Structure 1
Amino acid sequence: MMRHLVLFKLNEGVERDDPRVVAGVEAFRALDGKIPEIRFWELGWNVSDRPIAYDFAINSGFDDAESLRAYVEHPEHQAGVALWREFATWVIADYAY
């Protein structure tokens, strides 16, 4: 199994209620069920107020590296990534478990 973690940081001046952010969240929320390789899918806003905290997270699981690659390359995923590029930066970690 592969785990795919993504932590997003909204750009300076961008708030959660920005219409672009709302559309970006909904685009990623909708991926569960659209991309058959996804085995586990959760996402949400950070609740910590610590200064080092990121703003939004996706935690997802896949059968193997090939399934993860198929997800990353999937047009629906790429469309969501394009939205997020407008207002955020992110870091990822992919690991086998």
Structure 2
Amino acid sequence: MIRHLVLFKLDEGVRRDDPRVVEGVAAFRALGDLIPDLRFWECDWNITDRPIAYDFAINSAVDDADALQRYLEHPAHQAGVALWREFATWVIADYPF
């Protein structure tokens, strides 16, 4: 199994209630039901308010590297990423577990 973690930081001045953000969150929340390769899926807002904290997180798992690639290329994932590109930056980590 591979764990896929993503941490998102909203761009300066962008708020959680921005309509673009609301749409992006909805798109990512739906992925767990749309992409068969996902074995585990959760995402939500960070509840801490510290200067080094990121704003939103995805924690997911897939069976192997091929499944991870299919997830990354899935049209629903690509559509969500396109939304988030407009208002955030992110970092990722993929590791076996």
Query: TM-score range with shorter-chain normalisation?
Result: over 0.9
Q: State the partner residue of 1:57.
A: 57
1:1-97 correspondence to structure 2 within 5 Å: 1-97=1-97
Question: What letter matches 1:88 in structure 2?
Answer: A
The one-character-per-residue Cα deviations of 1:2-28 (angstroms, maximum 9, x if unpaired) are 000000000000000000000000000
Q: Displacement, 1:45?
A: 0.3
CA distance in 1, matches of 2:12, 2:25: 18
Q: Displacement, 1:50?
A: 1.3
Name stretches of at least 5 consecutive residues in structure 1 with no aligned partner: none
CA distance in 1, matches of 2:69, 2:18: 30
Compute the RMSD of aligned alpha carbons.
Answer: 0.5
Q: Displacement, 1:33?
A: 1.5
Which TM-score applies when normalising by structure 2?
0.98
Which TM-score applies when normalising by structure 1?
0.98
The one-character-per-residue Cα deviations of 1:50-73 (angstroms, maximum 9, x if unpaired) are 110000000000011110110001
SS of match in other structure, 2:7: strand
Question: What letter matches 1:60 in structure 2?
Answer: S
Identity of aligned residues (%): 75
User: Which stretches of structure 1, 4 residues or longer, exceed 4 Å deviation after superposition?
Assistant: none
CA distance in 1, matches of 2:29, 2:67: 19
